[in-house]
Structure 1
Amino acid sequence: MKDFRKNLKDGLTKTTNFVKKSSEDVVEKIKEGVEKIGQVGPAAKEKIVDVVNDVVAVLPLLEQAGYRTNEFKIGIALAPVIEVSFSKMAEVPEEKLEALKKEYENKKMFNMILSMLNTANSLSRKLEADDFSFHETVVEITVPPKVSLRYIHRKLEPLQINLLDDEV
């Protein structure tokens, strides 16, 4: 358990550092949008649209890494939030993930989201919740970015969304 906590802490620290570094441009766009959101003028709307377009553009690319988008939501508030929920649809070998990161290294949003998804996926495999089944991973692109693991009580689960045969 001590090793798990240390590994979890190390993994979260690495992810936090990566997210801080790779999301610089995204955070700057959101900050600029927040500064202007009070006016809700054309410039503020354009900033929000730019960030949303950046996110939507990388969603098909993330499928190549094994993550299918279930839905996304846009929250317009003082700090705009883009919430995207994902299901793990395939196990992708580490070599292919590294190749994708290299191929899309100029797409900071892709690499930021992929890093968050991979960390969350690794964590979800280690968590034990007997009465609950893993449902989806939710990434919130805001200041600061956030990732959540959603579990549903087995007795209340309306349908199984898990797309991996070996995890059903």
Structure 2
Amino acid sequence: MPQNKTVETEVNVTNFINSYVENEQKKEESFKLISLMSDWTGFEPKMWGSAIIGFGSYHYKYESGHAGDMPLISFSPRKSAFSLYVFSPTEETQYLLEELGKYRMGKSCIYVKELSDIHLSVLEKMCRSTIEYLSKHHECACRKTKPSEAKQKNKQLWG
């Protein structure tokens, strides 16, 4: 069975952004997303694979037997657009997409050129809905954290 390429690493998130993201606006928006997603999840950011910043984790297992771990929600500050991995297959998230703003949908992610193109309050609802969905359907780290404690720590780290 093939190994997952997207696994949690020990790479420093701040160092990654400062070395990977060339555009200053995208750097600022990356740090803003870190602050928001840390707040929404109660988890500190971790690098997953070579270019994904994830928050929390869940364990999945398919009927085929393939299993692994993935972040609850995550993003990657790609050159052309942010890749937001925040979507779950629910009626609520389908509805929220209609309210999100200007984006492009990929197979499993949402592409956004700039944060000003979307409504961050809708993104928050989408993220929270996805976390709830993952918690119900998978073994999830979100059941083990105390969001208020993590939120306080994240505010100190990320503003």
* Same-fold call, TM cutoff 0.5: no
Task: Judging by fraction of residues, say which structure has more helix.
Answer: 1
TM-score, L = length of structure 1: 0.27
Larger Rg: 1
User: Which structure has more RCO (C-alpha within 8 Å, separation ≥ 6)?
Assistant: 2
Which TM-score applies when normalising by structure 2? 0.28
